[in-house]
A and B are shown apart, each in its own frame.
Chain A
Amino acid sequence: MIRLESVSKVVQSGPEELTILHPLDLEVPKGQFLSIMGPSGSGKSTLLGLVAGLDAPTSGRVVVDGEDLTALDEDALARLRGAKIGFVFQFFHLLPSLTALENVLVPMEIAGIAGADARSRELLREVGLSERTHHYPSQLSGGEQQRVALARALANEPPILLADEPTGNLDAENGRHIVEILLGIHERRGTTIVLATHDQELAGKADRVLVLRGGRIERVHERAAVVPLVSAASRG
């Protein structure tokens, strides 16, 4: 589903060059739940951004569902995201001037999908917000906002869901709720999920954990071996 080939990322920070990601290879098969862990500044968000086509690698190729992202222009990337990738941010990033319902409607309207209204309501019901459809983001709590963001990410039934620290801004209880929803999505729909997180518990629920440090892949663990090594990684 997702394939990174010798992908690296170098940025200009003031007068200097900073290597965020050293050349790495990664493959995420369809339907896998991958969690990316690592300390702050290890390159987790950058990696996610590259997979979503939000950023371009300095070298290498990013292939998503058979499409080479490095060959696409901005508009093509946008369309790809609309069709195939749902993104959930740490800071929710809802459109402040739209209601919860309208926020979820947007991706469908962009794609010109019929029956968008009914589907939006259904999605909001799924995340437990049927009573709050007409509220604006400023009227919702952090947990509620993130749920709306999740509903929005699922609007076009994307095969891939990317999440950057989705529980990073939430308290424990809300965080758990989000995790449940994510897992539910993975089970029910078989969505390929890539999730960057500090959250040990959340990381532990993944099929595979990738540990990044200093822009390199330090370790990769399959599910069974994950739990004890997760705690080791977080100490690192």
Chain B
Amino acid sequence: MKFVLRMAARELRASWTRLLFFFVSIAVGVGAMISLGSVIQSVRAALMKESKGITAADLLIWADRPYSDNARYIVDEKLQKHGALSTTRSVESTAMARPEDESRKATTMVELRAVEEAFPFYGRMELADGRPYEHDLLKGRGALVRPELLTRLGVRVGDRIRIGEASFEIRGVVVREAGRSLSMFTMGPRVFIDHADLETTGILDYASRIRRQILVRVDEDKLEDLVWDLEGALANEFVRVRSYKEAGDQLARRLNRGESYLSLAGFVILILGGVGVWSVVRVFVAQKLKSIAVLKCVGATTRQVLAIYVVQVLALSVVGCALGLGLARLVVAWIPVGLGLDVKDVEYGLTASSVVQGIAIGLLVSVLFSLIPLLHLRLVRPLWLLRPESVQPGPHRRSLRERLASLDRMQLAAGVILVLALVGVASWQAESLLIGAYVSATFVGLSVALHFAGSLLIRAVAPLSRSSYFPLRHAVLNVSRPGNQTRVILLAVGVGFCFVLAIRGIQTNLLEQFAVELREDAPDLFFLDIQADQKDLLEERARRLGASTVKLVPVLRGRVVRVEGRTLQLESYQEVRERDWLGREYTLTYRNHLEDNERILEGAWWPESHSSEPEVSIEENLKEDFGMEVGDVLTFDIMGRQLAARVTSIREVEWADARNGGFMFVFRPGGLEGVPSSYAGFVKGPNDPMERARFQSDLVEDFYNVSIVDLRDILDDLAQVVDRVSLAITVVGSVALLSGGLILLGSVAMTKYQRSYETAIFRTLGASRRRVAAMMVLEYGTLGALAGAIGSLGAQVLTFLLSERVLEIPFRPDVLAQAGAILAASFAVALVGMLVTLDVLRHKPLSILRVG
């Protein structure tokens, strides 16, 4: 062992400058992983706080009926069992509000929320005048209201309003509230009052929609168990449980994808680092062959020799990882400054877990990628010292059988281990085995393709070796002669390009997804509580007042309480409840036509006529998740009344197109006859804020019972978050591009060590520098183009797989970008080839020949 360590130290001492590229490759890779990992974790923490803000708690428990004793007991018991940190109560209900001053004939429905001192656990409450929110503002019959309320009732801060039987003083205007849900409609402007004052309103006696909530704060690691436990125990009760993670479904889904992307990007950069390491070690081993032969000649065993180099690799990796760590520190410190992000929101810093992960994976990658060329050491025979020609096989073509027979089994095994390790790590990082499999499969498939491409290329250009143009002739000969660099360059450039382009491709697709959500022409006002007899009038009025889109749809709220189907049989509401989200309250609608964002998948849409037998069209997820089929009979509980409807079609809804909303259940007109419904409207209002405010108040004057919800608020918040994430994704994509490029080009540059000898010979024989350079440019340029072509093809495949199958976003091939990439690859590699040549040409031939 002492010998091994001593030799390793001596060798490193002599050649560490040549191994700088090794450091750089690992440092870049590890640095990328650690900084991305840290950023992800920091951003995730911040965004989770956002979604916590949406729920205003870690966990929300609610019921639309008074809690039974049993339910109360269960809740208390479970909360205690799982160590809930604190709880606070809240009640949400709709109520009518009107100015205290009876001379004002205004009245409106409001979404009342009665809260206690501790509310909210998370999220920000912002008041219009900039004062900080305090529960004291609500004590003693105070109210905090949304601005729409003021418009609607024509009141101001300081005025009094009546809610139910009690009178409240408006003590402030809320412009940003915690505990707001994104996906559910609200029935009117929000009004906050003190929980203690709720009784006095008398609402608890007569209001139909009262939601009694318990907000819970609990440690992150206990949350899931608590949720699971509560849901199980409360299955028979009409009590629901929801963690903050389920809030804002779409947003969360998008963000998860962003995270996977970032983790994966970090890992891919590290793979590229591995490619860099591989190229360095390859060259290093090639240069050490003689020394290794000497060692074996004087008594060293293969194991000792291998150990010497493994130790060196480990030492270099450790240093590289340390450098990477330093790099990550710099990057993470720069992020808030460089990207101009609001430092208050996110605390950026290296997280312990990302550091450990980065270093561990960095070491693993560098050792594994080094292993394959290192294993070549085993084959070094000391005989080579006596007979150098015994090492290089002659240029004669070996048959496939001969080639297969000469395959180094250990190297193959090492290759297999490498791939398995890649799959494992990729899966771990992206938290998905599928992603890991796709990435590794691409890596392997690409390597194989590039290997064969090399052979094909050699055969294809063979005729050109008879060209009279010297540089071309020798470029072609170089490509195929023994010890050629063809495969190395193809592999390094091809694999590198593939991954870099794939990251960019996914980035493009992801960003498009985000963009679609926030289209300029999307409706930004929701109208609620439009009575049937107001519908036409309101539509006309809205258009006259400046609305560019007005779409009104009938709405009711109901739950599924029974399913009699071919695949699914649920006898009672309890059984329905047990099926995930099937038991929740849905917004139902009825209409004769399909919307633009809908498509029939199975069954048939009903004709224009009414029918007396209720029919319903369900959204495809209901079939996918629950096995509902055309022909099943679903029983709904709509405001206490039961209604059975037959499923006559299954629809696909393009949820991203929010213009027409999206309904899971659409009834055929006539089936819901006699069930009172109101209308909801999707409206695009004026953009100008003043006009917008006037638009709303004018409408409300005529239709005082209609509530208007302005989506701008919500979309603004979404936009902010999305911007941040998009920026992060773009930055990462660019970092991947840069570091990938750096590593690729470095790998190509590594081939210079094997070039210098030939170049010296050519020069000695009379070739001018220009000729030699032309030779290199042709050779490298061609290889670059070929590698770029294959790499970009691989990138398309990988991008497709990851986009469609994993991230579930549509894949759009970008032909122009692909063509551009191939040109760029060719140019870049040729450029490196030329620079490398120039560097080699700097030295006098003799100095090279003498050492050789």
CA distance A82 to B299 in the complex (A): 4
- Also in contact, A54 and B10, with CB within 8 A (given A74-B302, A93-B294, A110-B298): no
Q: Are A106 and B301 in contact (CB under 8 A)?
A: no
Q: When the two chains form the complex, which single residue of B11, B13, B301 contacts A78, counting CB atoms closer than 8 Å? A: B301
Distance to closest chain A CB from B180 (angstroms): 69
Q: Are B3 and A112 in contact (CB under 8 A)?
A: yes
Q: Can you name 19 A-B residue pairings with CB atoms under 8 Å? A: A15-B396, A54-B297, A55-B386, A74-B302, A78-B296, A78-B297, A78-B302, A79-B299, A79-B301, A93-B297, A94-B294, A95-B291, A95-B295, A98-B10, A106-B295, A109-B7, A110-B298, A110-B299, A111-B299
Contact string, B364-397, partner A, CB cutoff 8 A, digits 1/0? 0000000000000000011101110010001110
The verdict on A152 contacting chain B, using a C-beta distance below 8 Å, is yes
Interface size on B, residues (CB 8 A): 34
The verdict on B290 contacting chain A, using a C-beta distance below 8 Å, is yes
Contacts of A129 in B (CB 8 A): none
Interface SS of chain B: helix, strand, loop or mixed? helix
CA distance A81 to B299 in the complex (A): 5
Contact string, B3-43, partner A, CB cutoff 8 A, digits 1/0? 10011001101110000000000000000000000000000
Q: Are A46 and B394 in contact (CB under 8 A)?
A: no
The verdict on A87 contacting chain B, using a C-beta distance below 8 Å, is yes
Q: In chain B, what residue has the closest Cβ to A11?
A: B390
Distance to closest chain B CB from A90 (angstroms): 9
The verdict on B641 contacting chain A, using a C-beta distance below 8 Å, is no
Q: Are A97 and B382 in contact (CB under 8 A)?
A: no
Q: Are B301 and A75 in contact (CB under 8 A)?
A: yes
- Also in contact, A82 and B13, with CB within 8 A (given A49-B386, A96-B291): no
Identify which of residues 35-92 in chain A touch chain B, using a CB-to-CB cut-off of 8 Å.
45-46, 48-49, 52, 54-55, 74-75, 78-79, 81-83, 87, 89, 91
Contact string, A99-114, partner B, CB cutoff 8 A, digits 1/0? 0001000110111100
CA distance A75 to B385 in the complex (A): 17
Q: Are A89 and B386 in contact (CB under 8 A)?
A: yes
Q: In chain B, what residue has the closest Cβ to A149?
A: B294
Looking at B14, B383, B386, the one whose CB has the most chain A CB atoms below 10 A away is B386
CA distance A11 to B381 in the complex (A): 15
Q: Which residues of B contact A (CB under 8 A)?
A: 2-3, 6-7, 10-11, 13-15, 290-291, 293-304, 381-383, 385-387, 390, 394-396, 851
Q: In chain A, what residue has the closest Cβ to B851?
A: A138
Q: Are B386 and A45 in contact (CB under 8 A)?
A: yes
CA distance A94 to B6 in the complex (A): 17
Q: Are B386 and A164 in contact (CB under 8 A)?
A: yes
Distance to closest chain B CB from A75 (angstroms): 4
Q: Are B3 and A81 in contact (CB under 8 A)?
A: no
Contact string, A24-39, partner B, CB cutoff 8 A, digits 1/0? 0000000000000000
Q: Are A87 and B297 in contact (CB under 8 A)?
A: yes
Q: Are B299 and A83 in contact (CB under 8 A)?
A: yes
Looking at B295, B299, B383, B394, the one whose CB has the most chain A CB atoms below 10 A away is B299
Contacts of A155 in B (CB 8 A): 298
Interface size on A, residues (CB 8 A): 39
Contacts of B2 in A (CB 8 A): 109, 112
The verdict on A156 contacting chain B, using a C-beta distance below 8 Å, is yes
Q: In chain A, what residue has the closest Cβ to B300?
A: A110
CA distance A107 to B851 in the complex (A): 24
Q: Are A49 and B387 in contact (CB under 8 A)?
A: yes
Q: In chain B, what residue has the closest Cβ to A86?
A: B298
- Also in contact, A14 and B386, with CB within 8 A (given A82-B298, A109-B2): no
Distance to closest chain A CB from B307 (angstroms): 12
Contacts of B851 in A (CB 8 A): 138
Contacts of A96 in B (CB 8 A): 14, 291
Distance to closest chain B CB from A101 (angstroms): 11
Q: When the two chains form the complex, which single residue of B10, B304, B390, B396 contacts A110, counting CB atoms closer than 8 Å? A: B304
CA distance A160 to B303 in the complex (A): 25
CA distance A96 to B294 in the complex (A): 11
Contacts of A78 in B (CB 8 A): 296-297, 299-302, 382
Distance to closest chain B CB from A42 (angstroms): 14
Contacts of A79 in B (CB 8 A): 299, 301
Q: Are A82 and B300 in contact (CB under 8 A)?
A: yes
CA distance A89 to B390 in the complex (A): 16
Contacts of A13 in B (CB 8 A): 394
Q: Are A48 and B298 in contact (CB under 8 A)?
A: no
Q: In chain A, what residue has the closest Cβ to B292?
A: A95
CA distance A54 to B851 in the complex (A): 24
Query: Lowest 6 CB-CB distances: which A-B pairs, in order?
Result: A82-B299, A97-B14, A109-B3, A75-B301, A14-B394, A107-B298
Q: When the two chains form the complex, which single residue of A45, A49, A75, A81 contacts B298, counting CB atoms closer than 8 Å? A: A81
Q: In chain B, what residue has the closest Cβ to A153?
A: B298
- Also in contact, A106 and B298, with CB within 8 A (given A14-B396, A97-B15, A98-B10): yes
Q: Are A49 and B3 in contact (CB under 8 A)?
A: no
